[in-house]
Amino acid sequence: MRFADRVAVVTGASRGIGRAIAIRLGSEGARVVVNHPGEAEMAEQVAAEIVRQGGAAMVADADVSNADRVAQMFDAALTRWNRVDILVNNAGICPFVEWFDLTEDLFERVHQVNLKGAFLCSQAASRIMRDQGRGGRIISLSSISALVGGSFQTHYTPTKAGIRSLMQSLAIVLGPYGITCNSILPGTILTDINQAHYQDPTILTRDSARVPLGRLGEPNDIAGVAAFLASDDARYINGADILVDGGLFVNLQ
């Protein structure tokens, strides 16, 4: 129960990687704010699972690209538990689309949710952590896509590179307050974001074969890394990237 005295805000926690992270932190005693973008029923299920495993939870319906809604979410966390110790910037979208079909509206929406959302939540959380004087942890879900291109992700990869860069800069700014800022770079993880893509067994087999471990990732593969970065064991890790991809990135031969 290494997070028994801590409050964590996990964005996009109603499904996928965010769900796994929220449950993992809650299972180790954290009080978790389960953020969701209008998915109340799914978020309540996550909160119930956290409580079942010994943690505490509240749900917060907030579009992370909306500054007012983000402020309300953190105010609600303070009202309920009077502290914020951990932020996991997980909320993100990536509708696969051909480059020549990519619209300005979609490009802007992906940037607002993925990158602007990480900015807004990081600023709100770090102000609280600074004023508390106990340090804190900001963990952001970047992606292997911050390092490589994606033909159907030309709107998405720049946001993940931006998140990685944001954490590096914030590591410098917030380090003096004892707040560490790090990125997790998942490889291909089977979630709702790519579910339709992997309905084709040929694509699933092909992509799995590219990973030296022989399989695509699962949300829990990321949750364990997030829990480590949130813990005291990672107290001297700051401005780092952790690539969690089963060896995909190095398999170029």
Catalytic residues: 143, 156, 160
Residue whose tokens read 């003096």:
176
Q: Nearest-CA neighbor of 163 among 178, 184, 149, 177?
A: 184
Q: How far apart are CA 193 and CA 139, in angstroms?
A: 20
Q: Are 193 and 227 in contact (CB under 8 A)?
A: no
Q: Which residues contact 97 (CB under 8 A, 6 or more apart)?
A: 106, 152, 155
Q: How far apart are CA 170 and CA 136, in angstroms?
A: 12
Q: How far apart are CA 193 and CA 145, in angstroms?
A: 14
Q: What are phi and psi of 214, to 5 degrees?
A: 85, 10
